[in-house]
């Protein structure tokens, strides 16, 4: 599996790790212009570390759902094209704004990913990718609602958290339900559990039907 252009492997403390070129955001180690992309703090980073074929490429136009304080979306903006970062909570959104200050391709949107109509006037259609990491119930519903922004050959690259759906249910059952809902709108290309980086998370790569 090849990494997106602009994502490389470099040695940090004797380990071969993912890195992107950009300004540090969350206290991550650096090597010159390169910053460590910590897979233990990033679901997308874990997907890349595990060899999933995300289909992401340098210069892609991206809608990132669940941007939080900017940990992962800042890495995405380091290698992608225009990157729209949606985050609903005001406190992490302030940190997201700081991360965007040094990144001219990163556009923070303090919006609710469950209500794409509130940012449809800002986000272009025909995007190369929707990247999702939203810790809320109804995660598959969020994906289907935001399908509208994807190009016909675009990619959904999502991490689904079982405990956000049902803290008491078996994660395998939760993921079966998530995939069944997604399959109404998407062709599932690849799935993989994100252990050991993130417990009870499922990485999914899909494309619109």
162 is in an annotated binding site: no
Residues found in the chain = 209
117 is in an annotated binding site: no
3-state secondary structure the chain: CCCCCCEEEEEECCEEEEEEECCCCCCCCEECCEEECCHHHCHHHHHHHCCCCCCCCCCCCEEEECCCCCHHHHHHHHHCCCEEEECCCHHHHHHHHHHHHCCCCEEEECCCCCCHHHCCCCCCCCEEEEEECCCCCCHHHHHHHHHHHEEEEEEEEEEEEHHHHCCCCCHHHHHHHHHHHHCCCEEEEEEEECCCCCCCEEEEEEEEC
135 is in an annotated binding site: yes
113 is in an annotated binding site: yes
67 is in an annotated binding site: no
133 is in an annotated binding site: yes
77 is in an annotated binding site: no
Annotated binding site: 71-72, 87-88, 112-113, 133-136
Annotated binding site for S-adenosyl-L-methionine: 71-72, 87-88, 112-113, 133-136
């Amino acid at each position: 599996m090849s990494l997106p252009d602009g994502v490389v492997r470099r040695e940090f403390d004797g380990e071969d790790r993912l890195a992107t070129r950009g300004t540090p955001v969350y206290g991550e180690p650096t090597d010159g212009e390169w910053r460590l992309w910590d897979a233990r703090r990033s679901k997308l980073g874990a997907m890349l570390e595990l060899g999933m074929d995300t289909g992401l490429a340098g210069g892609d136009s991206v809608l990132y759902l669940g941007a939080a304080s900017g940990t992962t979306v800042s890495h995405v903006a380091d290698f992608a094209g225009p990157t729209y970062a949606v985050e609903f909570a005001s406190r992490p959104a302030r940190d997201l704004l700081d991360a965007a200050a040094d990144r001219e391709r990163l556009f923070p949107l303090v919006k609710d990913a469950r209500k794409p109509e509130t940012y449809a006037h800002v986000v272009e259609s025909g995007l190369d990718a929707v990247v999702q990491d939203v810790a809320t119930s109804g995660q598959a519903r969020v994906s289907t609602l935001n399908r509208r922004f994807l190009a016909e050959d675009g990619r959904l690259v999502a991490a689904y958290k079982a405990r956000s759906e049902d803290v008491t249910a078996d994660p395998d059952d939760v993921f079966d339900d998530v995939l069944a809902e997604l399959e109404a709108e998407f062709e599932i290309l690849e799935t993989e559990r994100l252990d050991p980086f993130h417990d009870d998370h499922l990485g999914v790569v899909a494309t619109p039907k």
